[in-house]
Amino acid sequence: MASHSPALTPAHTPAHRKKRIALTGSGSGSGSPGAPRTTRTTTSTTSTTRTTARIGVTLVLASAATVSLFGEAGNAAPQLTPDQVRAKVAALYQQAEQATQDYDGAKEQADTASSAVSALQDQLARKTAKLNSTRDALGSIAAAQYRSGGIDPLLQLALSSTPDTYLARASYLRQAGTQQSQALTRLAAQQQDIAHTRSLAAGRLAALRDAQSRVADHKRTVTAELTAAQALLAQLTAAQRAAVAAADGPAPASDAAAPATRAAVRAPLAPVTTASPRAARAVAFAYRALGLPYVWGATGPHAYDCSGLTQAAWRSAGVSLPRTTYTQINAGHRISRSQLQPGDLVFFYSGASHVGLYIGGGNMIHAPHPGSPVRVAPISEMPFAAAVRPG
């Protein structure tokens, strides 16, 4: 049978107990022979602890000094070259373009919801006025019955001394009863209609508030991306910034610019042959927009963003396009790059976040980004995604 007596561990040996006492004794002079040894051991331990602490503090201070001397140089962001700045700015503009399309879509939804809310509110006002008229009619009938003393009018007429009067008025009162019944039925229907309209208005109002919230979020995103791009451009010299701007085409002509200058900016590069008269009108509109500034969210007539320009160009030709690149890409017949003809819409990047109007010869007219006006550019300057022929 196994023994149940506890095993003797080193912690329970007499020698170990003496060692523990020596390390933890108070040194208060208890009169025991081991007391002086306890005092010396405690003093030695305290001295060792203080030495270790001093060494630790010294190491921390040395480390801090090292960080202070070399940390800034080691953590400082490397100076970007003009080409690196240009690439980063282009990436920020692309991100801003995506956010702009999201903003445009949310803004369109907010505008639609706002119009719907206004229309429903007008309906409610008209329906409420009709409801009040019905209530007034019922009130008049009730007042007439009250004035009759609460006795059935037909009974009152039956007691009349003139039978001819009874017969004439009985027909009138039956008609009045029918009117009362019709008024009550009409009142119930109007109440149900108003409740339904109010429910629709509440749904539209909720959609409006949601769209307005998304508009604000996308606006903050666009602003942040554009601010970051401007901060990067500020790192360049004036000459370098001018070179970046020159790569985007001519600056927008001011109102004070000579008409000849603006005409030169907007002049077609070559005769354009289009697939249809409507496409020709869209291309002509885009040429007239050359030199106008890019403003995100703008649909003209004095400024445009990319999808605002293509929408306005085709609207001038009598074709209604949706507001954003994400919806315009489905507003026509999808064609291949080899099938492009002037007037076609060309989309770029994997998310189709940018659009231009093809004008032939491998070129398009588009609104690039803030600081760059509506201009002619090769479609090869951005990653091609798809092409659509409206109309």
Contact 337, 288 (CB under 8 A): no
Contact 231, 241 (CB under 8 A): no
Contact 282, 343 (CB under 8 A): yes
CA distances from 244 to 171, 238, 251, 348, 363 (A): 92, 10, 12, 21, 20
> Which residues on adjacent β-strands are paired with residue 356?
346
Unique residue bearing structure tokens 């010869």: 361
Q: Is 364 exposed, middle or buried (0-12, 13-18, 19+ CB in 10 A)?
A: buried
354 is catalytic: yes
For 251, phi then psi, to 5°, come to -70, 150
Catalytic annotation, pick one of 16, 196, 302, 366: 366
Strand segments, DSSP code E, in 71-209 are none
296-324 CB burial, b ≥16 within 10 A, e <16: bbbbbeebbbbbbbbbbbbebbebebbbb
CA geometry: angle 166, 171, 174, nearest 5 deg: 115
User: What is the distance, to the nearest Å, from the Cα of residue 72 to the centroid of all Cα atoms in its chain?
Assistant: 38
366 is catalytic: yes
List of residues 6+ apart from 275 with CB closer than 8 A: 341, 342, 343, 344, 389
Nearest Cα to Cα of residue 389 among 271, 270, 273, 275: 275
Catalytic annotation, pick one of 302, 306, 333, 369: 306
DSSP 181-208: HHHHHHHHHHHHHHHHHHHHHHHHHHHH
CA torsion angle for 50, 55, 56, 62 (degrees, to 10)? 150
- Angle in degrees, 0-180, between the axes of helices 82-147 and 306-315, rounded to the nearest 10: 60
Contact 36, 22 (CB under 8 A): no
306 is catalytic: yes
What are the catalytic residues? 306, 354, 366
